[in-house]
């Protein structure tokens, strides 16, 4: 990161969104980075104040400013807790976009390869996955990364139904690394009577990580490709919380009526299942629900996860109001210390909720699942857990 105190940075923030914060501090207890550090600059209120100071030209975008912005996990728990409806996610995304050219050379190089060379090119991603799988077998990939056991073989293709009345979004990393979760989601959706289609060409990546990193133009281009891959008006079911939040925000990101209509078709997997009839066998195994931030705080769609699992499992909820687990897209790579400190709190909350050593964690987001798996927890997607309980005794 360059630290040029003479630098003037136009953050391009919406002035109305910027002044909406009244400084009440009600968001502070919900902010994972404030909870860990106790520092005002690591809180939503402190970050907004810093954005204002830079936007007004009262402060330079210096090391402390960039550090405070980079340390935000973009979990948006502050947004959900804010009585003044401050759109913190928009403010942070716009700040990241203004900040992107100022990142260090190595970070820009890593991001260029990841965001332009790999994520939007599914063949490159699946080929890279096989190389990674070989590296896993040679024990060259640290287990602390929490990667699932990857296969050196190409993943078995998913089969769509003819004349679909719903689609399943498949995406990039989840499709390459966790296609079996999609297979479980397809099976559960079909058990509800749905005919499930798959996206046509172009839906390689939703652009969520690009938005996180402030790569706005690339995210808009990816959104255009994704929208073209889902003809008609059938619901688009998403089994990844981060992807679902991104697709549901295309209306704002792209800013067209078509994009808004597309976003209105997006529905989270558990919400879709909860609205239909599904026969499951009762069971008593303990499942602790982890609410991914992009499901709870952004889509406000976390309750159906517990609802759909309740018949087949002894479902437990954490008592931390959905505090972030510290995964945050690429956050755990670029901010490892804070990410681990945040995760420690989440793991403790999960263990307390379980009340037993024998439990499984349900997580509807691949990034959270990997991050928590790396801490030694047994994490499954709600679709996998539901698939295990399909049918009647």
Q: 3-state class of 198 per DSSP?
A: coil
> To the nearest whole angstrom, how small is the minimum distance from the Cβ of residue 70 to ligand SF4?
11
Which residue's CB is nearer to ligand SF4, number 90 or number 225? 90
- C-alpha separations of 76 from 79, 249, 293, 297, 377 in Å: 5, 14, 7, 6, 24
Instruction: Candidates 1, 7, 19, 24: give the one binding ligand SF4 (CB under 6 A).
Output: 24
- Please identify which residue in the block is written with the tokens 């759909």: 308
Check binding of 325 to ligand SF4 (CB under 6 A).
Answer: no
CB of 84 to ligand SF4, least distance (A): 4
By C-beta, is 24 or 152 nearer to ligand SF4?
A: 24
**Whether 143 contacts 149, CB under 8 Å:** no
Angle at CA of residue 141, ends 139 and 142, nearest 5°:
100
Of the candidates 9, 11, 21, 208, which one interacts with ligand SF4 according to CB under 6 A? 21
Binder among 18, 36, 69, 72 for ligand SF4 (CB under 6 A): 72
Q: Which is nearer to ligand SF4, 301 or 338 (CB)?
A: 338
User: 15-19, long-range: CB within 8 Å, 24+ apart, which pairs?
Assistant: 17/86, 17/87, 17/90, 17/91, 18/48, 18/51, 18/52, 18/55, 18/91, 19/52
DSSP character for 391?
S
The nearest distance, CB 88 to ligand SF4, in angstroms, is 5
| Residue 27 touching ligand SF4 (CB under 6 A) | yes
Strand partners, 381: none
Residues 31-70 that bind ligand SF4 (CB under 6 A): 31-33, 44-45, 47
In the bound state with ligand SF4, the residue whose beta carbon lies nearer, of 65 and 88, is 88
CB atoms closer than 10 angstroms to residue 326 = 28
Is residue 242 within the footprint of ligand SF4 (CB under 6 A)?
Answer: no
Residue 80's closest CA among 88, 69, 91? Answer: 88
Q: From the list 82, 166, 205, 259, which residue makes contact with ligand SF4 (rule: CB under 6 A)? A: 82
Binding residue count for ligand SF4, defined by CB under 6 A: 25
> In the complex, which residues of this chain contact ligand SF4 (CB under 6 A)?
21-27, 30-33, 44-45, 47, 72-78, 82, 84, 86, 88
């Amino acid at each position: 990161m360059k630290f040029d105190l003479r630098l003037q940075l136009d953050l391009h923030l919406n002035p109305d969104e910027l002044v909406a914060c009244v400084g009440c501090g009600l968001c502070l207890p919900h902010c994972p980075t404030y909870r860990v550090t106790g520092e005002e600059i690591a809180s939503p209120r402190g970050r907004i104040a810093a954005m204002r100071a830079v936007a007004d030209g009262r402060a330079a975008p210096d090391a402390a400013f960039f550090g405070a912005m980079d340390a935000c996990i973009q979990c948006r728990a502050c947004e959900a807790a804010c009585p003044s409806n401050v759109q913190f996610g928009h403010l942070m995304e716009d700040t990241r976009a203004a900040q992107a050219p100022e990142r260090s050379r190595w970070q820009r190089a890593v991001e260029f390869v990841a965001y332009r060379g790999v994520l939007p090119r599914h063949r490159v991603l699946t080929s890279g996955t096989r190389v990674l799988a070989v590296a896993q077998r040679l024990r060259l990939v640290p287990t602390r990364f929490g990667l699932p056991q990857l296969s050196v073989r190409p993943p078995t293709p998913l089969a769509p139904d003819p004349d679909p009345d719903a689609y399943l979004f498949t995406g990039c990393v989840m499709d390459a690394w966790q296609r079996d979760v999609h297979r479980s989601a397809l099976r559960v959706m079909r058990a509800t009577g749905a005919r499930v289609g798959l996206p046509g060409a172009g839906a390689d990546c939703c652009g969520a990580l690009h938005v996180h990193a402030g790569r706005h133009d690339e995210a808009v281009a990816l959104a255009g490709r994704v929208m073209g891959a889902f003809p008609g008006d059938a619901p688009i079911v998403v089994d990844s919380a981060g992807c679902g939040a991104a697709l549901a925000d295309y209306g704002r990101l792209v800013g067209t009526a078509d994009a808004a209509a597309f976003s209105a078709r997006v529905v989270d997997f558990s919400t879709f299942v909860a609205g239909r009839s599904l026969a499951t066998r009762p069971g008593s195994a303990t499942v602790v629900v982890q609410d991914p931030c992009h499901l709870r705080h952004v889509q406000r769609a976390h309750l159906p996860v517990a609802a759909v699992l309740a018949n087949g499992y002894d479902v437990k909820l954490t008592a931390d109001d959905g505090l972030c687990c510290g995964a945050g897209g690429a956050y755990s790579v670029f901010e490892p210390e804070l990410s681990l400190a945040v995760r420690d709190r989440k793991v403790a909350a999960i263990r307390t909720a379980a009340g037993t050593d024998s439990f499984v964690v349900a997580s509807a987001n691949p990034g959270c699942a990997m991050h928590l798996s790396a801490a030694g927890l047994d994490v499954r997607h709600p679709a996998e857990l539901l698939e295990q309980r399909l049918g009647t005794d």
